[in-house]
Amino acid sequence: MIRLTRLGAKQTLAVGFVVIILTGALLLMLPAANKSGEFLPFLDALFTATSATCVTGLVVYDTWSQFTIFGQLVILILIQIGGLGFMTIAILFSMVLGKRIGLRERSFAMEAVNSLQISGVVRLVKHILIGTLIFELIGAIILATRFYGVFGDSRAIWFGIFHSVSAFCNAGFDLMGSMEPYSSLTGFSSDMTVNITIMALIVTGGIGFVIWEDLFVHRFRFRKYKLHTKTVLVSTIAMIIISTAMFLVVEKDATLKGMETGERILAAFFHSITPRTAGFNTTDTGALSEAGTMLTMFLMFIGASPGSTAGGIKITTFVVIVLSVITHFRKCEDVNVFNRRLDARVVKRAYFSVTYYSIMVLAGCFLIVANQGLPIKEAMFETLSAIGTVGLSTGITRDLSTFSRIIVVILMYTGRVGSLTVFMAVTEKRNIRKVKNPMEKIIIG
Let me know if residue 437 belongs to a domain.
Answer: no
Give the domain range for residue 295: 4-425
Report yes or no on 444 lying in a domain: no
Asked if residue 57 belongs to a domain, the reply is yes
The pLDDT value recorded for residue 106 is 61
Query: Distance between CA 424 and CA 422 in Å, rounded?
Result: 6
Q: Is residue 317 part of a domain?
A: yes
pLDDT tens digit sequence for 80-118: 988 887 556 666 656 655 666 665 666 656 655 555 555
pLDDT at 162 over 90: yes
User: What burial class does residue 378 get, using C-beta atoms within 10 Å of its C-beta: 0-12 exposed, 13-18 middle, 19+ buried?
Assistant: buried
Residue 380 has pLDDT above 70, yes or no: yes
Note whether residue 434 is domain-resident. Answer: no
In angstroms, the Cα distances linking 243 to 58, 137, 234, 249, 283 are: 23, 29, 14, 10, 16
**Contacts from 380-384 at CB under 8 Å and sequence distance 24+?**
380/297, 381/293, 381/296, 381/297, 382/58, 382/408, 383/408, 383/411, 384/297, 384/300, 384/301
153-168 vs 192-206: helix crossing angle, rounded to 10: 40
**2 pLDDT more than 50:** no
The C-alpha R_g of the chain, in whole angstroms, comes to 22
The predicted model gives 22-26 an average pLDDT of 96
Classify residue 438: in a domain, yes or no.
no
| Proportion of the chain above pLDDT 70, given as a percent | 85
More confident residue, 308 or 54: 54
Specify if 288 maps to a domain: yes
Q: Is 440 within the bounds of a domain? A: no
Number of domains in the chain: 1
- pTM of the predicted structure, to 2 decimals: 0.88
Q: Mean pLDDT in the chain? A: 86
Region 337-360: what's the mean pLDDT?
91
Average pLDDT on 415-427 reads 56
Q: What is the mean pLDDT of residues 343-355?
A: 90
pLDDT the model gives residue 306: 82
- Could you report the per-residue pLDDT of 256-280, keeping only the tens digit for each? 998 999 999 999 999 999 998 788 9
pLDDT digits (tens, 9 = 90+) for 212-269: 888 888 888 899 999 999 999 999 999 999 999 999 999 999 999 989 999 999 999 9
Termini Cα distance of the chain: 48
